[in-house]
Chain A
Amino acid sequence: MRAFAELLDRLSLTASRNAKLRLVRDYLRETPDPDRGWALAALTGDLSFSAAKPAFIRKAVEARMDPQLFWWSYDYVGDLAETVALVWPRRPGANREPELSEVVEALRTATRPEVQRLIEGWLDAMDEPRERWALLKLVTGGLRVGMTARLAKRAAAEMAETTRVEPAEIEELWHALHAPYEDLFAWLEGRSEKPSSDNPGRFRPVMLAQAIDEAVDFAKLDPAGYAAEWKWDGIRVQLVHEGGVRRLYTRTGDDISRTFPDLVDALFEEGVIDGELLVLRAGPTGNQVASFADLQQRLNRKAVDAKLMARYPAGLRAYDILAEGRDDTRTLSFAERRKRLEAFVARQASPRIDLSPLQPFASWPELAGLRADPPPGDPQVAEGIMLKRWDSPYEAGRPKGPWFKWKRDPFLIDAVLMYAQRGHGKRSSFYSDYTFGTWTEGEDGQRVLTPVGKAYFGFTDEELKAIDKYVRDNTVERFGPVRSVRAEPNHGLVFEVAFEGLQRSGRHRSGVAMRFPRISRIRWDKPPGEADELVTLERMLAQMEGR
């Protein structure tokens, strides 16, 4: 348990993705079975307990110490599990510290009253707060150490020393594996064959597109070699019906079937479809795409009811087929797959599934024109254009060349820097997170700035240094890691902010929220008084909604 506790401790304070990978990889290399397998399952979210409720933990600790002293401690620390981990009185020689696997195996079989006694016994036996904290995280469910399932699987791929293992291989295997994954580790360590992935209903790792470099790529690409589709503003998913198993996966392989029962049943034939999850409502000429805000109403929910499904009907806009019946179609060309997809979607005749249409074009300039001024209907709300080479097979990962995304130009506004916050990791000595605002009329009729968004990328290292210096030289007030920066009509810093879209938001004082805001240019030359007004954003929003 000690090594696992140390791992969680470090992960929770490490910002860098590469450093996290290294921490997990090293843990997996150094820890024996079955502990490392349970740890991996805990990190990927495939193992989670809700063996202990906060009330029980609190009662257990108050039976061991003065409630007043506990209360002061809790008040100071602010987090229940952490407080309990810190204050739990030592009982020297109570028991032997448990291994992670002992904890997991006991929790899987014990009854509820037994579980409570077990947890108290383990806490007594543990020597260090770090271990008690890790145990409490494990038993209360949800590690929340800033680790995604995908990153954990990548770390597993990297632990292989003798052979090169692609993360996609592990992702495809994943649903055929069971914790504590001894067969997986045996393969990664070169001790046995690769486990079989022939598991009906499994996730297939997805193929991703590269961003196109307009200046370089078009000169080399033949327009006749590529198909164009609109890029939809939803969630990339994989709908599976195979061997009687029905599943809906995110592009990282998370199973979200339970959140979308209205979509999971839509395939009556067996097959695996790659497409965009959208809220689709019946319109005069087939399905019509609703806004991303509507889709958000359906995401991250454990339970859905008929009312919610009726109000925000989920649909799949299909753009690829990875399996048809028992055939794996991934080795076929895109042209071949597209033909099969069109026929397959037509046969399902489901209002929940439609086809992402191809956009015919003859030349790159013509396509550029369509991208800038899309035809009426759904393309108006598309995020841009996808280019797919007609002869490309379906390859997991982000291969160079076969698929490109060509995003619509972002929206731009000029906004004034209001607050700056210290960054994390490499950037902890820099003020690198910026809150910016636009002008509006204050209560007394004065022009005041109201925050409209926050951005922490889009600038070069050199520019970051310059902004950091500006922040330090123009600080008005400090609140912990945040500084408020001078922002007056004639003195302040203007950013040109690029963003992908706007949504109404009750959580933001300005009433609007930007999607993917980033700094596109620093306008050292521009007086803040000439930055944009909040009304400009409101107008943009009305236009997006009114299309």
Chain B
Amino acid sequence: MIRPQDLLCPKPEGLYCAPGDFYIDPVRPVARAVITHGHSDHARAGHGAVLATQATLDIMAERYGLGFAAAQQVAAYGEAVDRDAVAVTLVPAGHVLGSAQVVVRWKGLTMVVSGDYKRRRDPTCAAFEPVPCDVFISEATFALPVFRHPADAGEIARLLRSVAQFPERAHLVGAYALGKAQRIIRLLREAGWARPIYAHGALERLNALYERHGIDLGPLEPATSATKRDFAGEIIIAPPSALQDRWSRRFPDPVSAFASGWMQVRARARQRGVELPLIISDHADWDELTGTVEELRPGELWITHGREEALARWAELHGVPARALALVGYEEEDDD
């Protein structure tokens, strides 16, 4: 009798696949790793061999230098790669450019590690593909019924309305450097914002990388290129930590906006001094998390980083056996 825990089990380094001898998103250096996506808490430097999508490998090389791992192997979406007796397939997760779910097949057992994912459309990455499976291992970053992300177009419209309403002020949008920033820029372009968008220096290389992968971000300028007065009426994108940093003082009376799923909770916005919270997340919200479980109807649901207990409770109430894996080392990434 084959048990799921014989195929994948949690270890201090991360989720381990014994029959294939590899870890998924290990938080410490290991011999063989499969990486779901390029966020730094999932993709770390110093592994022996790394299997990931081309975009994820590119992102890691951009962040850590070309020698981030001893060996790299590209897996195209949907293409099975053998790791000893185990077939590994990367499938789009819809989280950021290059993000993947890891589908692991062994002796007739299919397990899917969602990595970080979302279900709604994102113009900067491939859409999540549901894969029927015996065990679905889900993230749970926003696994509380309070997290119900509104339509992103509406949030972008709120931003543009504020820009029109306060033309003498700069709008400073805090957005995670990988994925969120580029998505915000694309959404602004889709909403018709054709002016140059000013980007904090920390975003430049990732913006360029997205453009190399065919995502047109339109005219971008470094946020240092204009004098204070010229930023009036402009939109500047910066990593969240820069919002309250001394860096932000160069802008005229900035409206501080922050694009994150955490902005759903007012106390969080208030605590950070955010004047215009934009609820835009690269993670599945409560309805997407539960909807995905409902759609896949896996034999078992395993839950990793985030609010495991609430999603487990929901799964039990809906007849899906669930267990929390309590993996450590993943941050509430938007919340830096």
Docked complex Cα distance between A70 and B146 (Å): 9
Quick one: CB contact mask for A420-437 with B, threshold 8 Å, 1 for yes?
001111101100000000
Q: For residue A72, which residues in chain B have a CB less than 8 angstroms away from its CB?
A: 144, 307, 309-310, 313
Contacting pair B248 A429 (CB below 8 A): yes
Interface stretch, picked from B41-49, B98-106, B269-277, B292-300, is B269-277
Interface status of B65 (Cβ within 8 A of chain A): no
State A511–B95 Cα separation when bound (angstroms). 55
A520 at the interface (CB under 8 A from B): no
Asked if A26 and B165 sit within 8 Å, CB to CB, the answer is: yes
Residues in A with CB closer than 8 Å to B201 are: none
The stretch among A78-86, A169-177, A399-407 that forms the contact with chain B is A78-86
**Are A428 and B145 in touch, CB under 8 angstroms?**
no
A474-501 interface bits toward B, Cβ cutoff 8 Å, 1 = contact, 0 = none: 0000001100000000000000000000
Q: Chain A interface: which of B15-23, B79-87, B180-188, B260-268? A: B260-268
Instruction: Report the separation of the CA atoms of residues A257 and B314 in the bound assembly, to the nearest whole angstrom.
Output: 54
Residues of A within 8 A of B271 (CB): 480-481
The answer to whether B266 and A428 have CB atoms under 8 Å apart is no
Does B148 interact with chain A (Cβ within 8 Å)? yes
- Chain A CB within 8 A of B158 CB: yes
B70 to chain A, nearest CB (A): 39
Min C-beta distance of B120 to chain A, whole Å: 15
B193 CB within 8 Å of chain A: no
For the complex formed, measure the closest distance between the CB of A460 and the CB atoms of chain B, giving whole angstroms. 15
Roughly how many angstroms separate A82 CA and B246 CA in the complex, as a whole number?
32
- CA gap between A3 and B275 in the complex, in Å: 17
Q: Which chain B residue lies CB-closest to A127?
A: B150
Q: 8 Å CB contacts to A: which residues of B152-207?
A: 154, 158, 162, 165-166
Known: A69-B310, A69-B314, A86-B146. A19 touches B273 (CB 8 A): no
Known: A13-B269, A66-B313, A87-B145. A422 touches B244 (CB 8 A): yes
Report if B256 contacts A (CB, 8 A): yes
Closest beta carbon of chain B to A156's beta carbon, Å: 17
Q: Which residue of B lies closest to A14 (CB)?
A: B275
Cross-interface CB contact of B275 among A13, A65, A480, A481, cutoff 8 Å: A13
**Cα(A126)–Cα(B253), bound, Å:** 34
Asked if B6 is at the interface (CB within 8 A of a chain A CB), the reply is: no
Give CA–CA (A470, B275) in the complex, Å.
Answer: 26
Interface residues of A in 1-55 (CB under 8 A from B): 6, 10, 12-16, 19, 22-23, 26
The residues of B that contact A480 with a CB separation of less than 8 Å are 271
Contact indicator A22/B317 (Cβ below 8 Å): no
Q: Is B28 an interface residue (CB 8 A)?
A: no
Q: Is A128 an interface residue (CB 8 A)?
A: yes
With a 10 A CB-CB cut-off, give which of B146, B158, B166, B270 has the most chain A CB atoms: B146
Q: Closest B-chain residue to A480, C-beta based?
A: B271
- Say yes or no: is B11 at the interface (Cβ < 8 Å to chain A): no
Contact, CB under 8 Å: B150 / A73 = no
Partner of A15, one of B144, B275, B287: B275
Q: Is the CB of A129 within 8 A of B264?
A: yes
B249 at the interface (CB under 8 A from A): yes
Within 8 A of B (CB), among A514-528: none
Cβ–Cβ contact A65 & B145, under 8 A: yes
Report the Cα distance A480→B148, complex, angstroms.
26
Q: How far apart sit A87 and B277, CA to CA, in the bound complex (Å)?
A: 19
A268 within 8 A of B: no
Chain A residues whose CB sits within 8 angstroms of the CB of B158 once the complex forms = 6
Determine how close the nearest CB of chain B comes to the CB of A344; give it in whole angstroms.
49
A429 with B146: CB separation less than 8 A: no
CB-nearest residue of chain A relative to B267?
A78
**What residues of A have a CB within 8 angstroms of the CB of B162 in the complex?**
10
List chain A residues, Cβ under 8 A from B269: 13
Contact among B165, B265, B276 for A77, CB-based, below 8 A: B265
Q: Does B245 contact A (CB under 8 A)?
A: yes
A73 touches B145 (CB 8 A): yes
Given A13-B266, A72-B310, A429-B249, are A22 and B273 neighbors across the interface (CB < 8 Å)?
Answer: no
Contact of A429 among B144, B154, B245 (CB under 8 A): B245
Give Cα A424 to B269, complex, Å.
12
Q: Which of B248, B256, B317 is the one whose CB lies under 8 Å from A66? A: B317
Contact for A22 among B165, B244, B310, CB less than 8 A: B165
Task: Name which residue of chain A comes closest to B251, CB basis.
Answer: A429
Cα A481 to Cα B269 in complex, Å, equals 12
Report the nearest B residue to A425, measured CB to CB.
B275
Write the nearest CB–CB distance from B274 to chain A, whole angstroms.
Answer: 7
Determine how close the nearest CB of chain A comes to the CB of B117; give it in whole angstroms: 21
Which residue of chain A has the shortest Cβ distance to B274 in the bound complex? A13
- A16–B267 Cα distance when bound, in Å, is 18
Could you tell me if A77 and B274 are in contact, using CB atoms closer than 8 angstroms? no
Across-interface contacts of B265 in A (CB, < 8 A): 76-77, 82, 86
Q: How far is the CB of B102 from chain A (nearest CB, A)?
A: 29
The interface residues of chain B lying within 8 Å CB-to-CB of A109 are none
Task: Tell me which residues across on chain B come within 8 A of A162, comparing CB atoms.
Answer: none
Say whether A69 contacts B264, CB under 8 Å.
Answer: no
**B169 to chain A: closest residue by CB:** A19
Complex alpha-carbon distance, A12 and B314, angstroms: 33
Q: How many Å lie between the Cα of A73 and that of B265 in the bound state? A: 11
Q: How far is the CB of A65 from chain B (nearest CB, A)?
A: 7
Q: Provided the pairs A6-B158, A429-B246 are in contact, do residues A19 and B144 lie with their beta carbons within 8 angstroms?
A: no
CB of A111 within 8 A of chain B? no
Structural contact, A68 and B313, CB atoms closer than 8 A:
yes
Residue of A6, A77, A422, A480 with highest tally of chain B CB at under 10 A: A77
- Contacting pair B266 A12 (CB below 8 A): yes
Within the complex, which residue of A6, A73, A90, A422 is in contact with B273, where a contact is CB–CB below 8 Å? A422
Q: Are A23 and B264 in contact (CB under 8 A)?
A: no
Task: Give the docked Cα–Cα distance between A129 and B261 (Å).
Answer: 13
A65 cross-chain contacts in B, Cβ below 8 A: 145
Closest partner residue, chain A, to B162 (CB atom): A10
A423 surroundings in chain B (CB, below 8 A)? 273
- Chain B residues near A19 (CB, 8 Å)? 166, 275
- Residues in chain A near residue B273, CB distance under 8 A: 422-425, 428, 481
Nearest CB in chain A: distance from B273 CB, A: 4
Q: Which residues of A contact B244 (CB under 8 A)?
A: 422, 428-429
Q: A291–B20 Cα gap in the complex (Å)?
A: 80
Q: Smallest CB-CB separation from B265: which chain A residue? A: A77
Q: Which residues of chain B come closer than 8 Å to A83, judged between CB atoms?
A: 146
Q: Is the CB of B276 within 8 A of A86?
A: no
Complex Cα distance, B266 from A130, in Å, reads 10
Question: In the bound complex, how far is the Cα of B146 from the Cα of A423, in angstroms?
Answer: 28
Q: Is the CB of B313 within 8 A of A13?
A: no
What CA separation (Å) do A76 and B158 show in the bound complex? 26
Whether A129 lies near B148 (C-beta < 8 A) is yes
Task: Tell me the B273-323 residues at the A interface (CB within 8 Å).
Answer: 273-277, 287, 307, 309-310, 313-314, 317
- Which of A73, A78, A429 has the most B CB atoms < 10 Å from its CB? A429
- B327 CB, min distance to chain A CBs, angstroms: 20
Contacts A22-B165, A77-B146, A87-B146; A13 near B277 (Cβ below 8 A):
yes
Name the 9 nearest CB pairs between A and B, nearest first.
A428-B273, A86-B146, A87-B145, A73-B146, A429-B248, A429-B244, A73-B145, A13-B275, A72-B310
What are 23 pairs between A and B in contact, CB < 8 Å? A13-B275, A13-B276, A16-B253, A69-B310, A69-B314, A70-B145, A72-B144, A73-B144, A76-B144, A77-B146, A77-B265, A79-B267, A82-B265, A86-B146, A86-B265, A87-B146, A129-B148, A423-B273, A428-B243, A428-B244, A428-B248, A480-B271, A481-B273
Binding site for B on A (CB under 8 A): 6, 10, 12-16, 19, 22-23, 26, 65-66, 68-70, 72-73, 76-79, 82-83, 86-87, 90, 128-130, 422-426, 428-429, 480-481
Known: A6-B158, A16-B253, A86-B265. 11 other contacts (CB 8 A): A10-B276, A26-B165, A69-B144, A69-B310, A72-B307, A77-B265, A82-B266, A86-B145, A86-B148, A423-B273, A429-B243
